[in-house]
A = this chain, B = another copy of it.
Amino acid sequence: LELAEVNSLPYEEFIKRFGGAVEHGALVAGAVWSRRPFTSIDKLCAAFMDFLDKLPIEGKEGVIRLYPDLAGHLAHSGSLTAESTQEHKAAGLDTLTSEERATMAELNERYKTKFGFPFVICARENKKEAIINGLEVRIGNHASAEVETGLGEVKKICDLRLRDIVTDSTPKL
């Protein structure tokens, strides 16, 4: 999709196209539409990030709760969103051994019990070993810091997904 086309989308179409930039995030896309026109892809991404940053703490937690457990039940049953399926593959999470899957499942549960939201990490920027290691380290964090860390990963994932959707071939001066 060209940036000029993005700027001309009615909100219904904008939400259809960008409602998955944040997982199950139709509300986020609907809000960001208010900021158009976007003069660059960077500005479009920044509008998403800014909306997420300005949410109250429970809103940030709510956003993180929209994400599936990594290599969890939804992944195993083939019920992930198209975006998450691709990202799982990029990290090698579709080829876990049963031992690795059991480790992930146990760490995910411990993480969720402690924080009340799932462990989110940008799978396209990490391989499975780094992800399991990240889980082990982040379980030790304080809850308040971990909301921001999780939201930071949500933002990285969102940025990459947006750049998958939009191209900008406007000639630069």
Which A residues are within 8 Å of any B CB, using their own CB?
10-12, 15, 24-35, 51, 54-59, 61-66, 112, 116-117
> Nearest Cβ distance between residue A173 and chain B, in whole angstroms?
30
Given A11-B65, A116-B11, decide whether A56 and B54 contact each other with a Cβ distance below 8 A: yes
Task: State the CA gap A56–B31 with chains docked (Å).
Answer: 9
Given A27-B62, A27-B63, 8 additional A-B pairs, CB 8 A: A24-B27, A25-B27, A30-B62, A30-B66, A31-B59, A33-B116, A34-B116, A51-B56
> Nearest Cβ distance between residue A158 and chain B, in whole angstroms?
13
The SS class assigned to the A binding surface is helix
- State whether A11 touches B117 (Cβ < 8 A): yes
Given A11-B117, A34-B116, decide whether A62 and B28 contact each other with a Cβ distance below 8 A: yes
- State whether A59 touches B66 (Cβ < 8 A): no
- State whether A58 touches B62 (Cβ < 8 A): no
10 contacts between A and B (CB under 8 A): A11-B116, A12-B65, A15-B65, A24-B26, A27-B27, A27-B66, A31-B59, A32-B58, A34-B62, A54-B56
- State whether A31 touches B58 (Cβ < 8 A): yes
Set of chain B residues within 8 Å of A30, measured between Cβ atoms: 61-66
Set of chain B residues within 8 Å of A27, measured between Cβ atoms: 24-25, 27-28, 59, 62-63, 66
